[in-house]
Structure 1
Amino acid sequence: MDNVMLNKIAARRSIRKYRDEKVPAELVKELLKAAMSAPSACNQQPWHFVVIEDKEVLAALSEIHGGYTAMKNSPLVILVCGNPEAATLKQYWEHDCAAATENIFLAAQAIELGAIWMGVTQAADRDMEIIRSALNIPQEIIPFSFVAAGYPAEFKEPANRFDEAKVHYNSRW
């Protein structure tokens, strides 16, 4: 099938190396618009986003949680956060933030940026406090994921990950 969107999705790979080139503000805004276009339970939109471009902050954050090496050399990182208390259905905030994160990821691919998703919610308490302190995040807001993005300094061939054995038809396992 020749579909631009499906081809972009299929070609998407995690990019860990970026050119030393700032991502223009209008492209950052497009990534954020894409994030906020994600579906959310009962349209609660419990997300918040922290745009990080400061090299010193990125270097400090890259050392936590076992080392986010892609973050250190990235010109842009977006931290996706959630506020479960602001949502009627509190148990779905992580799903909502995952959808927003994926939209950032796909939007980056669409505008020729590379990106990588780095999880945060399972970070050790010490690491979570480093994130909160470095970015002045209120206590009711929970960091969910980092997305590092920038102009790729590496190319990866598309990977065919479709596995028919993991698909179960006719309403049965």
Structure 2
Amino acid sequence: MAKAKDKDKGSGRKLVAQNKKARHDYTIIDTYECGLVLTGTEVKSLRQGRASLVDGFVQIDGGEAWLHNVHVPEYAQGTWTNHSARRKRKLLMHRAEIDKLESKSQESGHTIVPLVLYFKEGRAKIEIALAKGKKEYDKRQTLREKQDTRETNRAISAARRRQRA
């Protein structure tokens, strides 16, 4: 009976929003999966696949992790109970993880950014990362490396195609 309920919820991972800019602007040191404390209209809006993580960041305040500046638009069919779009939301993490993140994020140049927002087994989850800001030349170097690997892969596959023919 319990397995049937799991299938109804969907045991897969349904992607809601991604922060591609974070991987470009920051060097990712460590990642964590957290739950979110949400209101009903926020969940309904997220299920429609509407959210933006672009300006988001995590701040640890009073031993609790808070997610700031993540835009979850108001639910269209919501009434006076609707939520505000950019309110701060509490993250659900283990105490040891929060303490570890707090100590590391206080180091110079480190920050905590959201990477991916998704539903896992019917529950809203967010993947956050401890990150260090990249300099402009680091960003250019990363782009150059990606372009070089892409070109080598294309050359290899073209050579293989010529070999088969």
Which protein has the bigger helix share? 1
Which protein has the bigger strand share? 2
In terms of Rg, which structure is larger? 2
**TM-score category by the smaller chain?**
under 0.3
User: Taking structure 2 as the reference length, what is the TM-score of the superposition?
Assistant: 0.26
User: Taking structure 1 as the reference length, what is the TM-score of the superposition?
Assistant: 0.25
